[in-house]
């Protein structure tokens, strides 16, 4: 998605972006490094989660969740769900940041979203949704129940 949005809008950006007049090629290299590293970190964490030692799984009601292999697996599944929610929210946030950069630098943006809408619905709401989801999961873990 990030690549598609960048390819669709790159032609409308000037040769240099931002107040520091960064060359567009350096901007895209840096942008994709940031996005790639953030996504890779969450993907690796999610993949490694089942193999983490018990001491690395610091959650509420830890003794309960680590008391049997079946409960540990449920815990790992829930923590992987948190990683997936965070990854989705993070990517929505990054796309909104790119859109804001694009709108601020393009002379005539093809795609334009009012900044208030962009900031609230695509930056603030995803971050809040991640926070609420984590709190719901942590509360459920503390009670030893399902977050549904």
Which residues have CB under 8 Å from 3's CB, separation 6+?
A: 32
Both tokens of 6, joined, read 């960048």
* Rounded CA separation 94/52 (Å): 28
DSSP state of 82: H
DSSP β-ladder status, 16-17 and 22-23: antiparallel
Q: What is the pLDDT of residue 93?
A: 94
* Rounded CA separation 124/77 (Å): 27
- Which regions of the chain are under pLDDT 70? 145-148
Expressed in angstroms, the distance from the first to the final Cα of the chain is: 30
| pLDDT tens, position by position, 98-120 | 999 999 999 889 889 999 999 99
Cα 102 to the chain's mean position, in Å?
20
Average per-residue pLDDT for the chain: 91
Asked if residues 78 and 141 have their Cβ atoms less than 8 Å apart, the reply is: yes
State pTM to two decimals.
0.84
């Amino acid at each position: 998605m990030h690549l598609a949005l960048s390819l669709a809008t790159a032609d409308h950006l000037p040769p240099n972006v931002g107040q520091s007049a960064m060359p567009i090629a350096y901007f895209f290299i840096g942008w994709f490094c940031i996005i790639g590293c953030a996504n890779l970190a969450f993907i690796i964490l999610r993949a490694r989660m089942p193999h983490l030692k018990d001491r690395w799984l610091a959650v509420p009601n830890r003794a309960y969740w680590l008391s049997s292999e079946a409960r540990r697996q449920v815990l790992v599944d829930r923590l992987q769900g948190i990683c997936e929610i965070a990854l989705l929210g993070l990517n929505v946030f990054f796309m909104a940041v790119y859109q804001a950069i694009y709108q601020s630098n393009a002379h005539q943006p093809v795609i334009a979203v009012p900044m208030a809408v962009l900031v609230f619905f695509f930056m603030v709401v995803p971050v809040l949704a991640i926070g609420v989801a984590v709190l719901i999961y942590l509360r459920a873990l503390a009670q030893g129940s399902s977050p549904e």
